[in-house]
Homo-oligomer: A and B are copies of this chain.
Amino acid sequence: MEGKLSHYDPSGKVSMVDVGPKTETERTATARAYVVLNRAVVEALPTNKKGDPLEVARIAGIMAAKKTSELIPLCHPLPLTRVNVELSLDENGVEILATASTVARTGVEMEAMTAACVAALTVYDMTKALDKSIEIREVHLLEKTGGKSGTFRREEGR
């Protein structure tokens, strides 16, 4: 295996590593999560006219992206230039795509992952009275651009 764990200094200690020498570039990342819901819940979701739980989850995901460096101990605080969270209902549950962007010295992978997770937790919270077996699955990075390591795109079927 090449490479090493993130967030360790040369002596092997946990550290918020120095990104000062890195260049400010535009960076984006997109993460995905999926909330499995039973059939009854999937059918119930669109019938609530006055307040859409997926809208609540969207707001929660956007706000959580801004809290990433408070939640993840070694994350650098970043001036986010964009956060977008999409939720779409299909017959098995809710798919969440979260995108974050910045112009900074390090990437926004964790911001996208955190937004996706918190949006998923909020879908769970809004529907949990209907179904105790809800599961959040397949939280992963879809794409990452910018920075020295270049573009990453997750392969299909992984």
Residues of A1-15 whose CB lies within 8 A of B: 1, 3-9, 11-15
With contact pairs A51-B14, A133-B158 given, residues A60 and B72 touching in the complex (Cβ less than 8 Å): yes
Number of contacting residues on A, CB 8 A? Answer: 95
For A7-50 the 0/1 string (1 means CB < 8 A from B) is 11101111111111000001000000100000011011100111
Residues of A45-82 whose CB lies within 8 A of B: 45, 48-53, 55-56, 58-60, 62-67, 69-82
List of B residues within 8 angstroms of A132 by Cβ: 141, 144, 152, 154
Copies of this chain present: 6
In the bound complex, CA of A4 to CA of B51 (Å)? 13
In the bound complex, CA of A75 to CA of B138 (Å)? 24
Q: Is the CB of B80 within 8 A of A79?
A: no
Residues of A104-158 whose CB lies within 8 A of B: 104-105, 109-110, 113-114, 117-118, 120-122, 124-130, 132-141, 144, 152, 154-155, 158
In the bound complex, CA of A138 to CA of B113 (Å)? 16
List of B residues within 8 angstroms of A137 by Cβ: 137-139
